């Protein structure tokens, strides 16, 4: 049986990234026929087709999507072994892709990326700021090394490590009458128009479950796709919005403020999601270590 060659892995990853045999051939300094022969040989070794070829685009098959993160890890592990343990920290190269819900990306990742870049300046970071469902799919398909997501985004192919509980609060303008209260009841909200996010949102699913449990009748007058849009509409005075606390603007210059909901707290659990079938790459593992250290500090400040 033939063994998989290092060059074949490089070519496979390049074809997967470009979706084009011609571009991949130019990038790897091969003729297109030579590249095609190498990919055919790799498919023969693996015993399965890796690509679906059409006239316009080359797409990965299900086997190809599963093999892609493994190929990337094999390349990275080879590179690290060549660098040697002594020079690993100062010369390490590679890349990490993180699928992160927008609120967590904005408020937490910068504090992790800065110390990580200082320690491992050669590792590039790509952030996919996606919804809970999109981020979950990116991790499952191997488009992201790991994700930061809500507990509601569960799947048999990923593990979830809880990090923080983010409570929902009532967002309003600072000059709104309800801003005089210390906390807001459901009854307080009945007289005002609410700005809600789409029913496809994980945040909306959590809220609707609690509202149904408490048999609340609210005036959800506006519906938007993104939390940032709801904050913008609240700022113009169109209504109130129930949002995760982490989505609130930081600093004292904002026209917005928030108050906690009275009664049983509604919150969303945010955590780390990873594929259960394969370990993360060495670079991603290094990032996760710093992430967990930094996040524990953030959690203490949040509480």
Which is more confidently placed, 220 or 85? 220
pLDDT in tens, 168-198: 999 999 999 999 999 999 889 888 999 988 7
In a domain, 70, yes or no: no
Proportion of the chain above pLDDT 90, given as a percent: 19
CATH number at residue 58: 1.10.10.10
| Domain range for 223 | 165-267
What pLDDT is recorded for position 174?
92
What pLDDT is recorded for position 298?
53
In a domain, 79, yes or no: no
- The structural domain count of the chain equals 3
pTM value is: 0.65
What are the angstrom distances between the C-alpha of 211 and each of 54, 178, 192, 208, 247?
Answer: 49, 20, 16, 5, 20
Q: Considering only CA atoms, which of 195, 197, 175, 176 is closest in space to residue 239? A: 195
Give the pairing type, strands 123-129 and 94-100.
parallel
What pLDDT is recorded for position 235?
92
Please tell me whether residues 186 and 227 are part of one structural domain: yes
Show the DSSP H helices in 142-213 as ranges: 186-189, 202-213
What pLDDT is recorded for position 53?
78
What pLDDT is recorded for position 181?
93
What are the angstrom distances between the C-alpha of 190 and each of 143, 183, 186, 194, 217?
Answer: 43, 15, 7, 9, 7
How would residue 301 be classed by pLDDT, with cut points 50, 70 and 90?
Answer: very low
What pLDDT is recorded for position 178?
94
Please tell me whether residues 138 and 212 are part of one structural domain: no
Please tell me whether residues 241 and 181 are part of one structural domain: yes
In a domain, 84, yes or no: no
pLDDT in tens, 196-255: 887 777 777 777 777 767 677 787 888 888 888 888 999 999 999 999 888 888 766 788
In a domain, 142, yes or no: yes
Backbone angles phi, psi at 188, to 5 degrees: -60, -30
Question: Is residue 28 within 8 Å of residue 35, measured between CB atoms?
Answer: yes
Chain centroid offset of residue 253 CA:
29
How would residue 58 be classed by pLDDT, with cut points 50, 70 and 90?
Answer: confident
Please tell me whether residues 209 and 174 are part of one structural domain: yes
Please tell me whether residues 195 and 239 are part of one structural domain: yes
How would residue 86 be classed by pLDDT, with cut points 50, 70 and 90?
Answer: very low
In a domain, 1, yes or no: no
- Does the pLDDT of residue 79 top 80, yes or no? no
What pLDDT is recorded for position 184?
92
In a domain, 71, yes or no: no
CATH number at residue 276: 3.40.190.10
CATH number at residue 251: 3.40.190.290
Please tell me whether residues 129 and 54 are part of one structural domain: no
CA atoms within 13 A on the CB side of 100: 16
Task: Decide: helix, strand or coil at residue 152.
Answer: coil
């Amino acid at each position: 049986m033939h063994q998989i060659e290092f060059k074949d892995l490089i070519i496979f990853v390049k074809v997967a990234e470009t979706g084009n045999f011609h571009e991949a051939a130019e990038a790897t300094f091969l003729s297109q026929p030579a590249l095609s022969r190498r990919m055919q040989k790799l498919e023969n070794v693996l015993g399965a087709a890796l690509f679906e070829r059409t006239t316009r685009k080359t797409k990965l098959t299900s086997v190809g999507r599963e093999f892609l993160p493994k190929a990337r890890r094999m390349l990275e592990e080879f590179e690290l072994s060549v660098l040697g343990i002594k020079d690993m920290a100062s010369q390490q190269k590679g890349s990490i892709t993180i699928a992160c819900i927008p609120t967590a990306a904005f408020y937490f990742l910068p504090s992790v990326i800065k110390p990580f870049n200082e320690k491992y300046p050669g590792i590039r970071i790509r952030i996919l700021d996606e919804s809970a469902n999109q981020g979950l799919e990116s991790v499952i398909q191997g488009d992201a090394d790991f994700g930061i997501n809500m507990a509601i985004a569960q799947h048999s192919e990923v593990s979830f490590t809880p990090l923080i509980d983010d409570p929902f609060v009532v967002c309003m303008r600072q000059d709104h009458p309800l801003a005089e209260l210390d906390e807001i009841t459901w009854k307080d909200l009945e007289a005002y128009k609410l700005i809600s996010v789409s029913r496809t949102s994980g945040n909306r699913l959590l809220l609707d479950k609690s509202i149904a449990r408490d048999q609340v009748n609210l005036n959800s007058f506006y519906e938007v796709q993104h939390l940032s849009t709801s904050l913008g509409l609240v700022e113009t005075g169109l209504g109130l919005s129930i949002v995760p606390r982490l989505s609130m603007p930081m600093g004292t210059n904002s026209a917005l403020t928030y108050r906690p909901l009275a009664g049983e707290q509604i919150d969303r659990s945010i955590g780390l999601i990873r594929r259960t079938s394969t370990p993360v790459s060495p670079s991603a593992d290094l990032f996760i270590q710093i992430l967990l250290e930094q996040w524990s500090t953030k959690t203490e400040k949040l509480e």
